[in-house]
Amino acid sequence: MKMLQTNSTENWVSRDSMPPDFRPGPAVSLADAVAVLAFIRRHLVIMLLTCLAGLGIAILYLIIVVPTFTAKAQLLVNSKLTFADAAALSTVVESQIAIIKSESIANAVIEKLGLAKDPEFATGQGSGMISRLLGWSKPMTEANAARYAVEPFERRLSVKRVGPTYLVEIAFDSRNPDRAAQILNAVAEKYIAHQMDKASLQDEKWVTDRLNELSTQALAAEAALRDYDRNIKTTNAADSADARDRLAAAAESSKNAYDNFRHVLRKAEAAQQQAPPVFEASLITGASPPLRASWPKPRIVLGVAIVAGLLLGLAIGIVRDLSDRIRTSGQTIGPSAEDGRIERPLPNGIRRDHQLEASAEPKPVRLTSSG
């Protein structure tokens, strides 16, 4: 038995002798827990009142705020080209996202659906009332109304890429769920139409300019030949014949160039219609009216209100405790109101209980006799 006690004593390692890395961390003491409970008990009414106030404000916000509905759709930006790396693919998809969010698409949708007259998008027109009264703003026209509608339109439209794919998700926020789906489908339609007409839009100006140039040259050569035949002189027949041959050859060459260009252009248009497009886009999932509002969400609003109310109550409680401590520590011992004497603290060597014992000792009584 004694051997066991000796071994247990030797195997015991004191907590103070343990290395710092192996010492357990400080735990919450019972006094700290009691202090926290006492703090909550003292300020429980304040915290409940702040929570109720926060809930009241949140409920009032949910009643007043106009709900927002978000419609969503997905586009497939399908490229027929092959890319060497993911960076080139990402660049192409980001370029298409920029086209969807461009002002040209917004103007086309605003013009098609008449959003310039919609109060939801015409809110910016009334913000310059003072400027209009002072003459600082231009008079309202249909073009200005459309420009005012572009800013809220672009703010409500969001476009993002779905992972490392060709899929692009577009979303639109509106107070009316049917209106949100209608606008989003119009955006997809205008974007797809823009992609289909992109090649013809790029080449249209050059083709028109070239046709006009060749036509002008052919007409000028024919007019020069007619003028020469009208004003020809018979005095020098050999020189006249040579000049007329040159003018006739120039007129024929200009006409052949114009005809050949038109023939090549028709063949190119036919081949382009038969060949698949190099870059195409398609609507994978059309937008439908959302069933629930995307904002506000009652659970999130009420939860934030409760947490904010608790934090506000704790802050008020802490401030009250600090003010009480400052007021208590700031009080000084002043003169007594009864006898005007100044009370001073006892010396450190004299204890309070000794003073009480000394005052409790009986005092001698002096007796006197009348005789």
**Count of CB atoms within 10 A of residue 214's CB?**
19
Q: Are residues 179 and 223 in the same domain?
A: no
What value, to the nearest 5°, has the Cα angle with vertex 289 and ends 285 and 293?
120
149 lies in some domain: yes
Q: Are residues 128 and 166 in the same domain?
A: yes
Q: Are residues 79 and 170 in the same domain?
A: yes
Q: Domain ends where: 169, 196, 223? A: 196
Of the given ranges (8-12, 13-17, 321-325), which has the lowest mean pLDDT? 8-12
Structural contact between residues 176 and 115, judged by C-beta atoms closer than 8 angstroms: no
pLDDT reported for residue 82: 59
305 lies in some domain: no
pLDDT digits (tens, 9 = 90+) for 268-295: 666 656 555 556 788 888 899 999 999 9
Element (DSSP H or E) covering residue 173: strand 167-174
Q: Are residues 185 and 99 in the same domain?
A: yes
Domain that holds residue 79: 70-196
pLDDT interval class at 298 (50, 70, 90): very high
SS3 label, residue 271 = helix
Sign of CA dihedral 336, 339, 340, 343: negative
Phi/psi class of residue 359: alpha, beta or left (left: φ > 0; alpha: ψ in -120 to 50)? alpha
pLDDT digits (tens, 9 = 90+) for 125-140: 544 555 555 555 555 5
Question: Mean per-residue pLDDT for 66-81?
Answer: 86
Amino acid at 122: A
Q: Are residues 228 and 172 in the same domain?
A: no
Q: Is the pLDDT of residue 107 over 50?
A: yes
What is the Cα–Cα distance from 57 to 72, expressed in whole angstroms? 31
**Residues 6 or more apart from 243 whose CB is under 8 A from it?**
228
pLDDT reported for residue 138: 53
pLDDT reported for residue 165: 86
Q: Is the pLDDT of residue 34 over 60?
A: yes
Q: Is the pLDDT of residue 2 over 60?
A: no
103 lies in some domain: yes
Q: Are residues 153 and 215 in the same domain?
A: no
| Number of domains observed in the structure of the chain | 2
Question: Mean per-residue pLDDT for 2-18?
Answer: 48
Q: Domain ends where: 275, 300, 326? A: 275
With pLDDT > 90 as the criterion, what percentage of the chain qualifies?
A: 34
Q: Are residues 78 and 170 in the same domain?
A: yes
38 lies in some domain: no
Q: Are residues 104 and 217 in the same domain?
A: no
SS3 label, residue 85 = coil
Q: Which of 19-28, 212-221, 229-238 has the highest mean pLDDT?
A: 212-221
What is the Cα–Cα distance from 152 to 145, expressed in whole angstroms? 12
Q: Are residues 185 and 91 in the same domain?
A: yes
Q: Are residues 116 and 76 in the same domain?
A: yes
Q: Is the pLDDT of residue 200 over 60?
A: no
Structural contact between residues 68 and 174, judged by C-beta atoms closer than 8 angstroms: yes
334 lies in some domain: no
Q: Domain ends where: 157, 174, 196? A: 196
Q: Is the pLDDT of residue 342 over 90?
A: no
337 lies in some domain: no
Structural contact between residues 218 and 262, judged by C-beta atoms closer than 8 angstroms: no
What is the Cα–Cα distance from 109 to 113, expressed in whole angstroms? 6
31 lies in some domain: no
Q: Are residues 123 and 220 in the same domain?
A: no
**Count of CB atoms within 10 A of residue 171's CB?**
18
Element (DSSP H or E) covering residue 109: helix 103-113
Mean pLDDT of the chain: 76
What is the Cα–Cα distance from 370 to 368, expressed in whole angstroms? 7
Provide the angle, in degrees to the nearest 10, between the axes of the packed helices 103-113 and 177-196.
120
40 lies in some domain: no
Residue 238 CA to chain centroid, in angstroms? 84
Q: Are residues 240 and 257 in the same domain?
A: yes
